[in-house]
Amino acid sequence: MGRSSMWKATVALSALLALSAQAETAKIVGIGASSCNRFNREIRETPALQRDYFAWAQGFMSGALIRAPEGVDAGLDLTPPSFPLEEQVEFLRTFCAKNQDQDFMDAARALYRHLRKLSTLGSDFQRVSVAYPLGTLEGATGMRSKSV
């Protein structure tokens, strides 16, 4: 194997190792680690819990925004006037009502993607979407693993 081939093999192996290192396991904890089924049941029994779930979703989305690579989702408004907080809570309720087998975290991720879509609709700039792995996620209540 020549120097050039060895160099290419080393670069390819390094890239592969870097990608596998990014696919780390992240343990999702807190009330938002619940299933949608549990969320639906709990807010039916205690409607005030919606506030706690929504606060968790806001923290989750803020964390995703902070962790996004530079230039990705820059300027994304998590509380746009066109989609007030009450409508965001309704979005989460609707998502979980339609997707009871998923986790509340999935509802928060769907809301984040929806906010991103709203943000791009009003932008004059072309947005570039960069995928970055969050790794394997485990829900604290059901210990479910998800690869994203």
pLDDT for residue 134 is more than 70: no
Tally Cβ neighbours within 10 Å of residue 32.
Answer: 25
Average pLDDT over residues 75-82: 94
Residue type, 38: R
DSSP conformation class of 115:
H
Percent of the chain with pLDDT over 90: 57
The full set of domain ranges for the chain reads 25-147
Tally Cβ neighbours within 10 Å of residue 131.
Answer: 7
Provide the terminal-to-terminal Cα distance of the chain, rounded to the nearest Å.
37
pLDDT for residue 136 is more than 70: no
pLDDT for residue 54 is more than 90: yes
Average pLDDT over residues 124-134: 39
Q: Which residue has the higher pLDDT, 95 or 8?
A: 95
Average pLDDT over residues 96-117: 97
Q: Which residue has the higher pLDDT, 147 or 66?
A: 66
pTM recorded for the entire structure: 0.67
